[in-house]
Structure 1
């Protein structure tokens, strides 16, 4: 099985090297490159010089132009989801152009506009992979960073200038989508699109989106485009105007003592994008009978939420979860966004601005996705 996204660390850099900026249209690698790595849970990012593997038959080399900043990057480095090896380059919302192809590549050519999301490999053999659900690979998929690949190498992510990935885990980006706005679709976008599709959100339904951040602001647009009447539930009153701009019909401010009695049994589906522990018992009664409350935000694993069983049984409601989507479904999402003109609201930053951006994400000051611009 060909591995993907793997890297060999060569050593730290003190400055961005000019050689990493230039084209690599020729040659088959290995490819020297550089990125911003975390060396500890709370320390600053530092430049790291490392090497992407030589092209294998189905590999494509991608010059990364942009990479979105996901809250998952922060959770990973800070140990919220367990221990990871350092130095670690995170970032799994990559967008750029193909600069090299392996001998058996059939889907892309040099110059193709492409993206890479949260996964760069899977076993390809289990029932889930065969069904197009690589995110649920029974043998464990290979994540874009901090993940042991099939050749035992550790993957390094998209806060870097170049990546080598098997073509089966590369997405095609239509010309109508700005590359700076493409990356967030491949994690934030698909994470909310997949449950909206799975629970068959459609015209005539009332849908609530809990949280208006990187995931939530795309969920509002997507649910609206699918025909639902959308209500945003947020703890930030200052986001009400933005929520309506993204397509919400109503906004509920979820503050202490808020009275939601008028919204009881209103919603056909609730999608919760908040990664932190918060009270669910005041929100589950807003579901209609047999409706589902789905969580996609994941914070610290040591801080579990508690849900009172009574609120679930009284209306036969379901509490569910969902994680990203398969490659086929992610491409479907990208094409849907191109058709519906759905895009994330992004703020571009330089590689050296990652630490400041992380601070703003944690403080809920991102509006609504930071994107690393490799040319900044």
Structure 2
């Protein structure tokens, strides 16, 4: 067994703090990874606070993990010691259901869905993880730790052109926005709307622009309108009814990145006939959809969940090729609780990334 250290919370109302625990050593086709950086996702906040009613405690978040391979198990062929790799939201899936066989592991239909990097099998509150699940465990510990062990086929190669700290949020925020744009075939010259301009929205705008789309972001603050201008995309205040009216029936695709319950109806009106608005930021029930607006123009409102392993490698390579990435702020692990508060308050531009070297000083005392 490997002695490991990380930051975890034991209750929905408690702060994250140091936890000593053990991981199994790398087995066949597995990698042992020294964690270098880990992004802080809004999902981490939701999960730590049990806002989806399925959290398993202790909860050690972190699914935007970049590290260096320090040991390989028997049979590993894709990586070697010293390689810089990434681990996203998944560390396993059933591998035998139709989605898994099609390369859509993120839609695994196995009895326990896919195995999440933290918080165990990713199932609903009604199917809360138990020790009787197919993975033989009821919890997993994520990347807010010094070491991670993962199967080699669930690890991603970090391109040399991407700094590891910049690559970290791409493993969730990047693929969560790239995957639906790929699926709904965003193409050069199309008009794409990004609803919400936080960590996901900022990266989504950069990706859509690099795809050749004409990008408009919808936000709530003047400050973020200035940021949109800096990125070379259009910006509109969400409550500017006159501006919204002028954009009616003009978008080929829209992506909502707002991480909580919200009303999509004002934006459905902006879609062209036969076009789609996809929600990626919120997993809870939304306000009711006005089906009259949907039906009269044969529009669609859809959802999308993270992305497949192939999508994740694609978006890493895409960002490296186009020289894009998230705007990040490096923090220490000791600052993570304050970071959570700022994320909830919308006071971050645009992604926090933990330098996990900061954990060494604490675990050594």
TM-score (norm 1): 0.89
SS in 1 for 2:207: helix
1:319 aligns with 2:301: yes
Distance 2:175 2:345 in 1: 24
Deviation at 1:39, TM superposition (A): 1.2
Deviation at 1:284, TM superposition (A): 0.7
1:59 aligns with 2:43: no
**Correspondence for 2:85:** 114
**Correspondence for 1:14:** none
- Structure 2 gap segments, 5+ residues each: 122-133, 359-365
1:96 aligns with 2:67: yes
Deviation at 1:259, TM superposition (A): 4.5
**Correspondence for 1:284:** 268
**Correspondence for 2:131:** none
Distance 1:280 1:43 in 2: 33
What does the per-residue CA deviation read over 1:264-310, in whole Å, with 9 as the maximum and x for residues that have no partner? 111000011002222222111111111101100115x3x53211111
**Correspondence for 1:340:** 322
Query: Where has structure 1 moved over 6 Å in runs of 4 or more?
Result: none
SS in 2 for 1:215: helix
Deviation at 1:54, TM superposition (A): 1.7
Equivalent positions of 1:13-92 (< 5 A) are 30-92=1-63
Distance 2:335 2:227 in 1: 25
Deviation at 1:247, TM superposition (A): 3.6
**Correspondence for 2:310:** 328
8 Å CA contact 2:161, 2:320 repeated in 1: yes
Match of 1:205 among 190, 195, 205: 190
User: How many residues are aligned here?
Assistant: 344
8 Å CA contact 1:217, 1:246 repeated in 2: no
Deviation at 1:154, TM superposition (A): 1.5
8 Å CA contact 1:221, 1:247 repeated in 2: no
Deviation at 1:257, TM superposition (A): 4.9
**Correspondence for 1:370:** 352
**Correspondence for 1:354:** 336
1:177 aligns with 2:162: yes
8 Å CA contact 1:208, 1:232 repeated in 2: yes
Distance 2:220 2:338 in 1: 23
Distance 1:184 1:246 in 2: 18
**Correspondence for 1:146:** 119
Deviation at 1:256, TM superposition (A): 6.6
Distance 1:207 1:305 in 2: 22
SS in 1 for 2:136: coil
Distance 1:51 1:153 in 2: 15
Deviation at 1:244, TM superposition (A): 2.5
**Correspondence for 1:156:** 141
SS in 2 for 1:61: strand
Deviation at 1:261, TM superposition (A): 1.2
Instruction: Note the aligned Cα RMSD (angstroms).
Output: 1.3
**Correspondence for 2:281:** 297
Deviation at 1:109, TM superposition (A): 0.5
What does the per-residue CA deviation read over 1:59-103, in whole Å, with 9 as the maximum and x for residues that have no partner? 100000100000001111211111322111001000010000001
**Correspondence for 1:22:** none
What does the per-residue CA deviation read over 1:238-265, in whole Å, with 9 as the maximum and x for residues that have no partner? 11121122341x1110127555111111
TM-score (norm 2): 0.92
Distance 2:232 2:204 in 1: 10
Deviation at 1:206, TM superposition (A): 0.5
Distance 2:231 2:202 in 1: 7
**Correspondence for 1:194:** 179
Change (3 A) 1:243 1:130: same
1:310 aligns with 2:271: no
